[in-house]
Structure 1
Amino acid sequence: MRILKSMVRQPSALFGLAIVALLIFMAVAAPLIAPYNPDEQMFDGLTLEGAPMPPSAQFLLGTDTLGRDLFSRLLFGARTSLVIGLVANGIAVAIGLLIGILSGYMRGLVGNALMRFTDLMMAFPALLLAIVLAALLRPSLWIVAMVIALVNWVQVARIVYTETRGLVERDFILAERSLGAGHLRILFHHILPHLMPTAIVWGTLGIATTVLLEATLSFLGIGVQPPTPSWGNIIFESQSYFQAAPWLVFIPGAVILLTALSFNLVGDVLRDILDPTQRGRG
């Protein structure tokens, strides 16, 4: 409650929260809000020349190249993009926490091996690695989520490792060890609670990155496969009509941009609230 009160006092956080809440509502209520079936190809959804219909009273945001209502597809695409964003980023944060805590706490051979593996993963460009993994596997919603999670955990692991190294030298950890506390008790009762603010902030900020990466993969044709709508594959399917029907590219692109901006605004404010030492830093 204290965090929420602090956030609503800041205009940027309030704007971000409002947009995030609206997106979640649209995704959950898509079957009730959407005026048409997102996969329905309508005869009156194309002009006599076979071109997409522009925005009108019948089709609020126009139609796509197959005569499907763009507004309906954007609503259902929000479900796909947000589910992948939440699931993939949640898995990435969990993996990063596990590897970061273990490598920072255990040190020695195991800790060094985990960190060298993390460094190796960081050496690969995330987008290139995601493209390779997505191309090797048969793309689907859950496969894309897994691929994104496998390339996005390294930053979390590095941050958690650094913080864990500092925590294990603190007096209260040394006191627990002298009292005979086991490793699991120290990890879960003393170290992990101190790392949760970092996990929450990175979890929020990472959703924007995950949504953008999913859109990129879908735009390249190796993400979520049609007819399942996602914001990325809506742009991919319509790119050839960029000049004739620019709304097919600009509208989903603007939605992706607004989503990333909103989660970043919320994450930045959360960082300031949960870690006051970061306030004012770029």
Structure 2
Amino acid sequence: MAALPTQPAAAQESAPPSGAGGGAPPPRRGVLRALLRDPGAVLSAAYILLVVAMAVFAPLIVRMSGWGPYEFDQTAVNPDLGGVPFGGWGGAGGEHWFGVEPGSGRDIFARIVYGARVSMLIALAATALTTLLGVVFGLLAGFFGGKVDWVISRVMDFLMAFPALIFMIAILSALPAGNRAVLLVVVISLFGWPYLARIVRGQTMSLARREFVEAARASGAGRAAIVFREILPNLRSTIIVMTTLAIPGYIGTEAGLSFLGVGVVPPTPSWGQMIASSVSWYSVVPTYFAIPGAFLFLLVLSFTVLGDRLRAVLDPQGVR
């Protein structure tokens, strides 16, 4: 079961970002060259791009396979055995490339492809909203300090004290099942932004005392100019790394909530939902569990590895 991710760099929230005020972050070409020389980063990026392509071109891919994610093929399952697919490997073959769902006969390949769209959309939207909230509130708390910092810090402490997954389940269970994808994004972001905000706050407080910021103040620069021209550019590497490392956690969170029945509403395809449905069939049709489980595992692993490599390139001094 996936829990809401905690940011791995939280313990370093007071450390200034590498290069702040003294050296610029590595240029984009240098970062790209370093990642291309790393086989793990290349393989991870390739798999992520594959899943993104599946999500973007889902209708076209499914049309090529011949079966939609909501179509039932009762001829592919044996009603005398409770809906067990005909043939080996869960009914996999030329007509159904990954086999069919036991009982319903729905095409697993089509549902995997559309499930990629659901997982990526929710995870990326939650990451974008979390990053926006975390950066805004972290900058406000770290730059202004005083009462502003006290209020924002207490809100962060309050949200971080909650057992997030339990409250997510409670909130989503109580809300109508209308647009569940939007609700998932909002609820995940609600509990996720404080972790990034704490890091941004700590680094903003450190940067605000640096010589280049004092020089900008002395030259008559306003608060907005200092924040957006002096401080925020020096947080870019930190934000990129933390965002990349947050995505796999949100993918796992969406899958875990769908597994528990409070995520994406059936019959909308979701990898977590497919894994939940496979539990009662595991001993009979193990491929029904293994296929969505493998796609989910590899996606989470790829984002984690890529985030780790990015952190090593963008902030080599921070890597232990």
Instruction: Please report the TM-score for the alignment, with normalisation by the length of structure 2.
Output: 0.84
Listed as ranges, the gaps of 5+ residues in structure 2 are: 1-28
Deviation at 1:97, TM superposition (A): 0.5
* Cα separation, 2, equivalents of 1:86 and 1:134: 19
Q: Which residue of 2 aligns with 1:62?
A: 99
* Cα separation, 1, equivalents of 2:114 and 2:274: 11
Do residues 45 (structure 1) and 76 (structure 2) align?
yes
* Cα separation, 2, equivalents of 1:115 and 1:169: 20
Q: Which residue of 2 aligns with 1:154?
A: 194
Do residues 27 (structure 1) and 67 (structure 2) align?
no
Do residues 119 (structure 1) and 151 (structure 2) align?
no
Q: Return the match for 1:9 from 22, 34, 37.
A: 37
Deviations 1:147-167 (A, max 9, x none): 111111111011111111100
* Cα separation, 1, equivalents of 2:186 and 2:84: 34
Deviates more, 1:144-153 or 1:204-213: 144-153
Deviates more, 1:213-222 or 1:233-242: 233-242
Contact 2:76 2:91 in 1 (8 A): no
* Cα separation, 2, equivalents of 1:116 and 1:208: 27
Q: Which residue of 2 aligns with 1:77?
A: 115
Q: Return the match for 2:239 from 199, 205, 215.
A: 199
2:274 partner SS: helix
Instruction: Please report the TM-score for the alignment, with normalisation by the length of structure 1.
Output: 0.95
Listed as ranges, the gaps of 5+ residues in structure 1 are: none
Higher relative contact order (CA 8 A, sep 6+): 2
Deviation at 1:105, TM superposition (A): 0.6
Deviations 1:75-119 (A, max 9, x none): 000000001111111110111111111101111011111011101
Aligned positions of 1:1-282 closer than 5 A: 1-34=29-62, 35=65, 36-49=67-80, 50-53=82-85, 54-57=90-93, 58-65=95-102, 66-139=104-177, 140-279=180-319, 281=320
CA RMSD of aligned residues (A): 1.3
AA at the equivalent of 2:74: F
* Cα separation, 1, equivalents of 2:238 and 2:91: 44
Structure 1's consecutive aligned runs of 4 or more residues displaced over 6 angstroms after TM superposition are none
Contact 1:85 1:207 in 2 (8 A): yes
Q: Percent identity?
A: 39
* Cα separation, 1, equivalents of 2:84 and 2:297: 24
Report how many aligned residue pairs link the two structures.
280
AA at the equivalent of 2:79: L
